[in-house]
Structure 1
Amino acid sequence: MLKTLITTAITTAIMAVALGGCSNSSNSNDVKPQADPIDLVASNSVAFETYNAEEFYKTTSVFGSSINHLGNAVLVSNDKSGIFNAYRVPVDGSPSKQLTFSTKESVFVESWFPKDERFLYSADKGGDELNHLYVQELDGTDVDLTPGEGLKASVMSWHEDEQSFFVVTNERDAKYFDVYQYNTEDYSRQLVFKNDSGFSVESVSPNGRFIALSKSHSNSNSDLYLIDLRLKMAKPRLLTEHSGDVSYSVDTFSKDNKRLLYATDEFGEFNQSWAYDLATGESTLSYKADWDVSFSYFSKDGRFQITGVNADAQTQLIITDLTTNSELQLPTLPSGDLRGVNFSDDSSSMVFYINSDTSPSNLYTHKLGTDSILRLTNSGNPNIKEQNLVTGEVVRFKSFDGLDIPAILYKPKQANMKKVPALIYIHGGPGGQSRKGYSATVQHLVNNGYAIIKINNRGSSGYGKTFFHLDDKRHGEDDLQDVVYNKKYLQTLDWVDADKIGVMGGSYGGYLTMAAMAFTDEFKVGINIFGVTNWVRTLESIPPYWEAFRKSLYDELGDPTTDKERLHNISPVFFGEQVKSPVLVVQGANDPRVLKIESDEMVESIRSGGTYVDYLVFDDEGHGFSKKANRISASNKYLEFLNTYL
């Protein structure tokens, strides 16, 4: 869990958008684009079309699946206007209605109120990640529930009495998040948990009695705690007494307030789902698989349990009817992965997304007990035909030490006629994971003749805890060799031009991109998208609200006080003169994680050695690009750079 701390929930969604993907997202059908010029290419006598970035981004990225109290509308964010705003999508298929009209800051929806159509949403300023929580009133006015400067806040959950909700904010102490209970009528609040001991607040029980907390001891060892708010002077109670390195994380409380669902790797390589009985203190197995059980949650009335399994870079959803203890049987669904499932208050209907490599997510609704499935969005640009896009194939190759490295390979249609250049695409994290699913950036590059292989180098999540920890304090070393051996794998493919292979990535993937360019001479080009280049500065300047897992971060990457020499030696900014091939750097000016000065200095360091570097900065973005115009500009720049230098 802690290896993915360079991507939080909101930023994960933005990162997916920034790099052209959709995270439990869909695209609206409100845009009627005019056709831009396209090229027709003959492939083995079969014509296919190539498209520009503007065509790929004539979609409306959408996420969110909160169903209102009447069961007749879904609350979503989409970027139809070029920036994310809130929309009301009726479940009968009638046109959606825009609810917020921001022109500067992206609006990320949270949920409807339980008894009316007020709703909660969050927003930061220019990507600074200092999110405030807002409510939109019935008359359309917006109220900042967490006013102030320099704070970060988010909603936790609703109380089962539907008269209050829980919020975490670090306004009292920038390092730690406290829990407040807000009244739904006048938004008055009370502090219910003061966090002075470095806990991470995980979940609040529906009746508001219990709070589940976690504490990290290292990047492979953690504990869960429970606090009972009915007890005066209550102290957190340890739930997970254990020996050795075991990781625990909270999923949710059961709707009857009797159990706490959590995940643990105590019993093998992969996370299993367990249920802790709050009365007896006993834990029982809830669900296990041959892969990580990623999450588990319940429908609003507690009838259904939704469990996600991370099966070889694709999420498999299991929906269990707890009244019959059997899996919910759904009608035949459109091809693709099922995502973002949510139920109405009485579980009579559900909404969900379907996503595939060749189609952005679409939002659907289904009335249980019928064969009816209604699509609520038409996400794809009608000018782009799915047959012109490419489905990724999961492959594996041997690295320098014989370790199997998984990856997702996209073969462009041009490869049926000639050898094509290729790019190794590295995910963020460092413990992230490249996954199947639609990415406008990937499809744009593949459609224009570039092979893409999305590597899951050692240290990636989803392949067991041993694999996950193989890069601990080995960053820029063993994981970099995985990237080099990925190149060697590509050179074995008879349709890849062995002399034209580059590397690109965002965040930690941007770091490995720059490491590949500075510490090897293997790659013809590099595209660094807000990548860490100075580990000493990055680890010394982490946001104060990461304090709860500072030690785990240092266990993973190194302590800038005691490991300064090693961190210096793996930081590309100090070795930019060694870069001998062209580089493109892309950065958000407001990035709180990878400060702009890092990219500034990286660019100057490369130029000091006489190597060409192009530099694109977005003044209104942070660690990810949420504005559509900026995503188009970035994607155009990627292709222009590659066409020139690869």
Structure 2
Amino acid sequence: MRRLALTVPTLLFVACAALPPAPPPLPAAAPAAPAAEAVVVPNPNLVLQDIPPIPAALAQQVARYTDFRGHGFLEWHPTRREMLVTHRKAGGSTTQLFRVTAPMAEPEALTDFSEPVRVASWEPQRGEYLVFERSNGGDEADQVYRLDVADRQVTLLTDPTERHEIQGWLHKSSQLLVGSVPLDRTAQGGSREKIRQTLTLIDPANPGQRRKLAELPGTGWGVGGVSWDDRRVALTRYISATESQLWLLDLRNGKTRQLLPAPGSKRKASFLAAGFKRDNSGIWLVTDRHGEFRQLALYDLGRRRLLPVSRHVAWDVDQIGASRDGRLLAAQVNVDGRSEVRLFDARSRKERPAPALPPGGVRALGFHPQAGELAFSLDSAKGPGEVWSLDPNAAKGAAPVQWTRALAAPGVDPQAFGDQQIVRWKSFDGRGISGLLSLPPERFGGKRPVLIDIHGGPEGQAEVGFMGRYNHFVEDLGIAIVQPNVRGSSGYGKTFLALDNGMKREDSVKDIGALLDWIATQPRLDASRVVVSGGSYGGYMSLAVAATYPQRIAGAIDVVGISNFVTFLRNTESYRRDLRRVEYGDERDPAMRAFLERISPLTNASRITRPLLVVQGRNDPRVPYTEAEQIVEKVRANGTPVWYLRAENEGHGFRRKENADFQFYVTTLFLQQTLLK
């Protein structure tokens, strides 16, 4: 080795000396192949078409946004100061039932199924068992079960060939009211022209003991309260978002009679029953009979008079809870997309001072049957649902009591998330439209790309609340999110609610065109980088915007959306069909059928030229999967890139965490490729 230890002068000498001719160069070596990038393998229930591999690094980057776990209030225990709530446990896939035995106590799991459980009720006398609803694979063919809390034994109470709903209990005995409708899978030809809804009284402790109370024509019937003497049932017949009726069922003989509107009246309105007055002299309800908004009111059965209670509140009352002693009412009021609690004295029908609540929107409420304590769920832009309670009769300034704490993945502080702001713009006809805007943090400079996310319904509403996984788009990717409340949305009066009905359907699409105009005027928003997204009816809106304004968007996302109104109405479950015909139009009418065909995205698919992501559940009873597959095929014929994700074990939206996570990965990659390149 010492002979190589040459001094610098020697090296210079050697370099200058005469050398033999150099050999010909060797062929250049091929560059080393990069290591294969790790990717996320979808679970066996997911079907992917033309979706690029999802980098494992992407899944790791967004993982902290996929494990928010809040709680939703369902019901107080009938005798103890404890609650029944919904929650997803750590590592769990679906929402299940839990009980919380004291404020901030560790929730105790009552169910642990592969299918989600979101609806349940305690047996009202002693609370020794509860009943719950559960479907299979997202098919919404709900069955009712009894769960014996002591040993977790589960007993099926209903006929699997039909769809069932828990409708309430009698007061003096543990007998359960169940509403049922037939399913198309048991119909000849897979469809039914006529549907009847059955109301049955079941003793869950002895399931063989049951009595059919009534067969009701059509669908949309729901129990709105049982009289305190167990003799009568208030029924709501829901016809559309702007029309419903109040009926009375006599439990002794099964006879029904219409109360509101009076039989023969041509004046339509919304009447939604919410329980009997404690002395059985009247029925509490919410109605828009006296104005634009749904008000709390009392129908006096003896005088046959409707008495307004909250006429001074110029917003919709969405929910009512009554204390068991009949003295107090709690109303959930939707104030411009923010849900508040208002209290009313049930005897004087006067409003009481509102309690001071923690920040957030109220999602559910209920009085304890014995103590009168009021429980409620809250969420906000800064966190998922938490459950609280308050004593309405406590001294002024008494603080609410927190019962549950929402959970987030390590490294995520939801309190740092930005608040949503309400924004407004003028549409094509001068009408004011509003929505919610979530802006990225100030560290993101320049004009920011925009995701327009449209709610379903169509009579839904974008409300102030927690955005869950979508916080990643705002906080980490710097994407602004606008959630518009186009005409036809609830919460802004019955006139606004009806502005998209029938032949006016395209006017709501024009509201998004006006939103695109507004985005172009905003200093922090980039009108050249916009993706439109939506679920269910919002999926239709996304497709319609993609066909109407193809040059003004960068891409579109359709989640369980309607692509053709005629095929949708033909294939949706029969128990939903007539309710949807009132909203969208009756395809059996030739003029309406021609209109629906003309405006459907499938008809206009040749105009969808921007990248499209379509997400669908195979078992969806509302918007059948065929709506997704026909638009995928038609748009691909344009040469337009279409990503298609279908889950074989889901229905109208993904409910299992593993599926929802993968949908989020795909959506994130789609936004990166359409908005951030």
Provide the TM-score with structure 2 as the length reference.
Answer: 0.82
Counterpart residue type for residue 593 of structure 2: K
**Aligned: 1:618 with 2:640:** no
**Aligned: 1:635 with 2:676:** no
Instruction: Look up the SS of the partner of 2:481 in the other structure.
Output: strand
Q: 1:88 to 1:218 in 2, by over 3 A?
A: closer
Q: Distance in 1 between matches of 2:245 and 2:335?
A: 26
Counterpart residue type for residue 408 of structure 1: L
The equivalent position to 1:454 in structure 2, one of 483, 487, 497, is 483
Q: 1:237 to 1:575 in 2, by over 3 A?
A: closer
**Aligned: 1:282 with 2:331:** no
Instruction: Please name the residue that 1:582 is paired with.
Output: 611
Q: Measure how far apart 1:338 and its partner are.
A: 3.5
The equivalent position to 1:508 in structure 2, one of 534, 537, 549, is 537
Q: 1:498 to 1:546 in 2, by over 3 A?
A: closer
Quick check: 2:182–2:575 contact (8 Å CA) kept in 1?
no
Instruction: Look up the SS of the partner of 1:236 in the other structure.
Output: strand
**Aligned: 1:158 with 2:169:** yes
Q: Measure how far apart 1:325 and its partner are.
A: 6.4
Instruction: Please name the residue that 1:145 is paired with.
Output: 157
**Aligned: 1:87 with 2:116:** no
The equivalent position to 1:98 in structure 2, one of 101, 106, 109, is 109
Instruction: Please name the residue that 2:456 is paired with.
Output: 428
Deviations 1:262-283 (A, max 9, x none): 2322222222222112223222
Instruction: Please name the residue that 2:223 is paired with.
Output: 202
**Aligned: 1:536 with 2:562:** no
Q: Distance in 1 between matches of 2:445 and 2:277?
A: 56
Q: 1:266 to 1:349 in 2, by over 3 A?
A: closer
Quick check: 1:415–1:495 contact (8 Å CA) kept in 2?
no
Q: 1:529 to 1:228 in 2, by over 3 A?
A: same
1:36-47 to 2 correspondence within 5 Å?
none
**Aligned: 1:181 with 2:201:** yes
The equivalent position to 1:64 in structure 2, one of 73, 77, 83, is 73
Deviations 1:254-305 (A, max 9, x none): 2332211223222222222221122232221122221122232312333321
The equivalent position to 2:234 in structure 1, one of 189, 212, 216, is 212
Quick check: 1:108–1:122 contact (8 Å CA) kept in 2?
yes
Q: Measure how far apart 1:555 and its partner are.
A: 3.7
Q: Distance in 1 between matches of 2:272 and 2:104?
A: 38
The count of corresponding residues between Structure 1 and Structure 2 is 594
Instruction: Look up the SS of the partner of 2:501 in the other structure.
Output: coil
Deviations 1:120-162 (A, max 9, x none): 111001111110111101321101111322x111111121114
Counterpart residue type for residue 407 of structure 1: G
Q: 1:51 to 1:210 in 2, by over 3 A?
A: farther
Using the TM superposition, name which of 521-530 and 202-211 deviates more. Answer: 202-211
Quick check: 1:253–1:261 contact (8 Å CA) kept in 2?
yes
The equivalent position to 1:224 in structure 2, one of 222, 237, 246, is 246
Deviations 1:72-94 (A, max 9, x none): 32112212212122111122432
Q: Distance in 2 between matches of 1:324 and 1:264?
A: 19
Instruction: Please name the residue that 2:21 is paired with.
Output: none
Instruction: Look up the SS of the partner of 1:185 in the other structure.
Output: coil
Q: Measure how far apart 1:404 and its partner are.
A: 0.6
Quick check: 1:431–1:460 contact (8 Å CA) kept in 2?
yes
Q: Distance in 2 between matches of 1:264 and 1:134?
A: 33
Q: Distance in 2 between matches of 1:326 and 1:565?
A: 51
Q: Distance in 1 between matches of 2:505 and 2:213?
A: 44
Q: Measure how far apart 1:506 and its partner are.
A: 0.4
Q: Distance in 2 between matches of 1:607 and 1:636?
A: 22
Instruction: Please name the residue that 1:269 is paired with.
Output: 292
Q: Distance in 2 between matches of 1:536 and 1:331?
A: 49
1:320-339 to 2 correspondence within 5 Å?
320-322=344-346, 332-339=356-363
Q: Measure how far apart 1:523 and its partner are.
A: 1.1
Instruction: Look up the SS of the partner of 2:470 in the other structure.
Output: helix
Q: 1:387 to 1:597 in 2, by over 3 A?
A: same
Provide the TM-score with structure 1 as the length reference.
Answer: 0.86
Q: 1:452 to 1:475 in 2, by over 3 A?
A: farther
Q: Measure how far apart 1:233 and its partner are.
A: 6.5
Q: 1:543 to 1:485 in 2, by over 3 A?
A: same
Unaligned runs of 5+ in 2: 1-55
The equivalent position to 2:585 in structure 1, one of 558, 565, 579, is 558
Using the TM superposition, name which of 209-218 and 611-620 deviates more. Answer: 209-218
Using the TM superposition, name which of 603-612 and 569-578 deviates more. Answer: 569-578
Using the TM superposition, name which of 440-449 and 563-572 deviates more. Answer: 440-449
Q: Distance in 2 between matches of 1:345 and 1:217?
A: 32
The equivalent position to 1:402 in structure 2, one of 419, 430, 434, is 430
Quick check: 1:262–1:275 contact (8 Å CA) kept in 2?
yes
The equivalent position to 2:403 in structure 1, one of 336, 358, 376, is 376
Instruction: Please name the residue that 1:47 is paired with.
Output: none
Counterpart residue type for residue 358 of structure 2: P
The equivalent position to 2:322 in structure 1, one of 298, 315, 338, is 298
Q: Distance in 1 between matches of 2:653 and 2:371?
A: 36
Q: Distance in 1 between matches of 2:446 and 2:560?
A: 33
Q: Distance in 1 between matches of 2:260 and 2:426?
A: 41
The equivalent position to 1:438 in structure 2, one of 449, 466, 481, is 466
Instruction: Look up the SS of the partner of 1:516 in the other structure.
Output: helix
Quick check: 1:53–1:632 contact (8 Å CA) kept in 2?
no
Q: Measure how far apart 1:364 and its partner are.
A: 2.1
Using the TM superposition, name which of 221-230 and 435-444 deviates more. Answer: 221-230
**Aligned: 1:236 with 2:263:** no
Q: Distance in 2 between matches of 1:327 and 1:235?
A: 33
Instruction: Look up the SS of the partner of 2:273 in the other structure.
Output: strand
Counterpart residue type for residue 560 of structure 1: E
Q: Distance in 2 between matches of 1:415 and 1:393?
A: 19
Q: Distance in 2 between matches of 1:171 and 1:555?
A: 21
Q: 1:198 to 1:586 in 2, by over 3 A?
A: closer
Q: 1:466 to 1:299 in 2, by over 3 A?
A: same
Deviations 1:605-628 (A, max 9, x none): 111000111111111110022111
Q: Distance in 2 between matches of 1:577 and 1:62?
A: 45
Q: Distance in 2 between matches of 1:251 and 1:69?
A: 19
Q: Distance in 2 between matches of 1:227 and 1:69?
A: 26
Q: 1:129 to 1:217 in 2, by over 3 A?
A: closer
Counterpart residue type for residue 152 of structure 1: R
Instruction: Look up the SS of the partner of 2:603 in the other structure.
Output: helix
Instruction: Please name the residue that 1:77 is paired with.
Output: 86
Quick check: 1:223–1:239 contact (8 Å CA) kept in 2?
yes
Q: Distance in 2 between matches of 1:438 and 1:366?
A: 23
Q: Distance in 2 between matches of 1:364 and 1:478?
A: 41
Q: Measure how far apart 1:439 and its partner are.
A: 1.5
Counterpart residue type for residue 212 of structure 1: A
Q: 1:334 to 1:295 in 2, by over 3 A?
A: closer
Identity of aligned residues (%): 29
